[in-house]
């Protein structure tokens, strides 16, 4: 999670993966912690306890890595993962990944995904976009990353803000080929969510 608005998207994705028994390696930038505080009221001064409060009790396993731990397993191509999602993704993080910068563990792990040709998904949250944003997005897609901009839809009949968050989280899980029941798909009846 980096420092763009949209913390609920990341939270919902992590909780969905943990609820299905996945091991999730969580990275939160300093700006990401600020967003969690501002948008969700999370206490960034008690990080381990705060993460346990919101992500504990699921069948899956959460492994939180400090951003400065450049020697963490996920910084190596020999470490096996099924992919990586940066959600929300700031334009600064997107630019760093697009240009091969690895100043922290999140950027290094993303670079590993690209060099190992593993799934890398970015959920940028910015508007309006200028030419540099668009050039960096194009560069990333040409490198094999997938971009899933935070653009909620309305065809599924959202009744709440959480319904809109669930739609975006579901689109990310779809791109990861992870089953979920977060939203009603187009053409499905009300009781068919998958």
The model's pLDDT over 60-100, given as tens digits with 9 standing for 90+, comes to 999 999 999 999 999 999 999 999 999 999 999 999 999 99
Is 171 a known ligand-binding residue? yes
How does residue 194 score in pLDDT terms, banded at 50, 70 and 90? very low
Is 100 a known ligand-binding residue? no
Q: How many CB atoms within 10 Å of residue 44? A: 15
List, in sequence order, every beta strand (DSSP E) within the chain.
Answer: 23-26, 61-64, 84-89, 120-124, 146-147
DSSP 53-96: HHHTTSSSEEEE--TT-TTSGGGSTTS--S-EEEEEE-HHHHHH
Is 29 a known ligand-binding residue? yes
Judged against a pLDDT cut of 70, whether residue 193 lies above it is answered with no
Is 153 a known ligand-binding residue? no
Domain regions of the chain by residue span? 7-69+82-175
Q: Would you say the pTM of this structure is higher than 0.75?
A: yes
Is 151 a known ligand-binding residue? no
The CATH topology of domain 7-69+82-175 is: Rossmann fold (3.40.50)
Is 45 a known ligand-binding residue? no
Helix axes 105-115, 91-98, angle to 10 degrees: 40
User: For all residues of the chain together, what is the average pLDDT?
Assistant: 95
Half-sphere exposure of 187 (CA within 13 A, CB side): 0
In degrees, to the nearest 5, what angle opens at C-alpha 122 toward C-alphas 74 and 6? 105
Q: Which two tokens stand for residue 170?
A: 């579901």
Is 46 a known ligand-binding residue? no
Is 93 a known ligand-binding residue? yes
**Is residue 182 a contact partner of residue 173, using CB atoms and an 8 Å limit?**
yes
40-53 tens-digit pLDDT: 999 999 999 999 99
Judged against a pLDDT cut of 80, whether residue 56 lies above it is answered with yes
Is 113 a known ligand-binding residue? no
Distance CA 92, CA 125 (A): 11
Which residues have C-beta within 8 Å of that of residue 77, sequence separation ≥ 6?
A: 112, 115, 116
Is 90 a known ligand-binding residue? yes
What local confidence, expressed as pLDDT, does residue 184 receive?
Answer: 86
Is 50 a known ligand-binding residue? no
What local confidence, expressed as pLDDT, does residue 191 receive?
Answer: 60
95-134 tens-digit pLDDT: 999 999 999 999 999 999 999 999 999 999 999 999 999 9
Judged against a pLDDT cut of 80, whether residue 3 lies above it is answered with yes
């Amino acid at each position: 999670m980096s420092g763009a608005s949209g913390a609920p998207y990341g939270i919902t994705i992590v909780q969905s993966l943990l609820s299905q028994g996945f091991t999730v390696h969580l990275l939160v930038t300093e700006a990401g912690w600020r967003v969690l505080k501002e948008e969700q009221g999370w206490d960034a001064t008690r990080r381990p306890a705060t993460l346990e409060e919101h992500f504990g009790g699921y069948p899956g396993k959460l492994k939180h890595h400090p951003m400065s731990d450049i020697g963490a397993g996920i910084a190596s191509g020999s470490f096996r993962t099924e992919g990586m999602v940066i959600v929300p993704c700031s334009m600064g993080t997107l630019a760093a990944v697009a240009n091969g910068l690895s100043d922290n563990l999140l950027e290094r792990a993303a670079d590993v995904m690209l060099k190992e040709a593993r799934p890398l998904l970015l959920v940028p949250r910015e508007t309006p976009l200028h030419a540099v944003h668009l050039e960096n997005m194009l560069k990333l897609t040409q490198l094999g990353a997938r971009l899933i901009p935070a653009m909620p839809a309305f065809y599924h009949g959202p009744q709440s803000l959480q319904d809109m968050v669930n739609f975006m989280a579901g689109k990310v899980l779809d791109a990861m080929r992870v089953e979920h029941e977060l939203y009603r798909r187009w053409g499905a009846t009300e009781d068919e969510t998958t």
